[in-house]
Amino acid sequence: MSMMRTFRTIAIIVISIGLSVAVGCARKPVEPNRQAPQDADLVFESYSVADGMLQQAPWLRDTRAPMLTAAFVNINDLENSSALGRIISEQVASRFSQQGFTMIELRLRDNVFIRQRAGEFMLSREVRNLSQAHNATAVVVGTYAVGRRSVYVSTRLIRAADNLMLASFDYSLPLGPDTRALLASQ
């Protein structure tokens, strides 16, 4: 009897282990807690863009010639911007101004195409005309693309005389609640 009891105990343990393994294998894996991304410090990021471009074109510090900025536009629709595209260009312009550059405010000029609630757009064929009218050496332009969890921003400093790219700076912003709100605001 003792042998039978031992056999039954072993059988119960083996069946229990087998059921535990089967139940464990059938369970859906637990996914990590995916919280919405937090916003980046937009002012810090924009200032870093201006500083990075000045490092690539340090000779601009010697000339301190006036520069123009245009609203950053959606890469999928170059005639549309958002509050995000406009504030990034404003902050980059602010940083250049803090570094001693004269930044021309295009929204105050009559000869710049301004689409209501969409900001200023710098089209390549307009660069030369606008720069000559304002005696500007360079133009800051940019585009952005919205991904699932990030906004990818590409910024360029273009020589106004011939559209040559003098500097560029690419970065991404987490798609947090403030960034989403700025993108939704046309």
Where do the structural domains in the chain lie, given as residue ranges? 1-30, 42-184
For 147-161, the pLDDT digits (tens) are 999 999 999 999 888
Question: Is the separation of the CB atoms in 153 and 172 below 8 Å?
Answer: yes
Question: Is it true that domain 42-184 has CATH number 3.40.50.10610?
Answer: yes
Q: Which residues are CB-neighbours of 181 under 8 A, at least 6 positions away? A: 83
Q: Is 60 exceeded by the pLDDT of residue 44?
A: yes
pLDDT by residue (tens digit) across 60-82? 888 878 999 888 999 998 888 89
0.85 surpassed by pTM: no
For the cut 90, the answer to whether the pLDDT of residue 93 exceeds it is yes
Mean pLDDT calculated for residue range 43-51 = 97
Q: What residues contact 76, with CB distance under 8 A and at least 6 apart?
A: 145
pLDDT band at 137 (very low <50, low <70, confident <90, very high): confident
Across the range 104-127, mean pLDDT stands at: 48
Number of other residues whose CB lies within 10 A of the CB of residue 106:
23
User: In this model, does residue 19 exceed pLDDT 80?
Assistant: no
Q: At what angle do helices 83-98 and 42-56 cross, to 10 degrees?
A: 50
Tell whether the torsion through CA atoms of 54, 174, 41 and 73 is positive or negative.
positive
Residue found by looking up tokens 């940083």 in the block? 95
